[in-house]
């Protein structure tokens, strides 16, 4: 799957955040990080990442670490 630039940026942020905090950041936290994006745009990007299975490896790693 080809990610948009914004999806790639969000994915990179989620991956980095989860390594540090052992949790997926909230939509509010991501919106704060990407000040120019609306919550609905972030939510759509996250849904796309989830639908394509890209967040599952991160979630599984978090579960293993806890």
Q: Is the pLDDT of residue 1 over 80?
A: no
Confidence of residue 66 (pLDDT cuts 50, 70, 90): confident
Tokens representing 14? 């989620």
Place of tokens 């997926």: 24
Tally of structural domains, the chain: 1
The whole-angstrom separation of Cα 42 and Cα 19 is 20
According to DSSP H, which parts of 1-66 are helical?
5-21, 27-33, 39-51, 56-65
Domain containing 9: what range? 5-65
* Torsion (CA) 2, 61, 15, 50 in degrees, nearest 10: 40
pTM passes above 0.95: no
The whole-angstrom separation of Cα 43 and Cα 65 is 26
């Amino acid at each position: 799957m080809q990610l948009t630039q914004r999806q790639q940026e969000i994915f990179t942020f989620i991956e980095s955040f989860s390594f540090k905090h052992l949790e997926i950041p909230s939509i509010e936290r991501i919106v704060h990080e990407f000040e120019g994006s609306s919550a609905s745009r972030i939510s759509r990007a996250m849904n796309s990442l989830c639908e394509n299975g890209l967040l599952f490896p991160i979630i599984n790693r978090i579960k293993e670490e806890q």
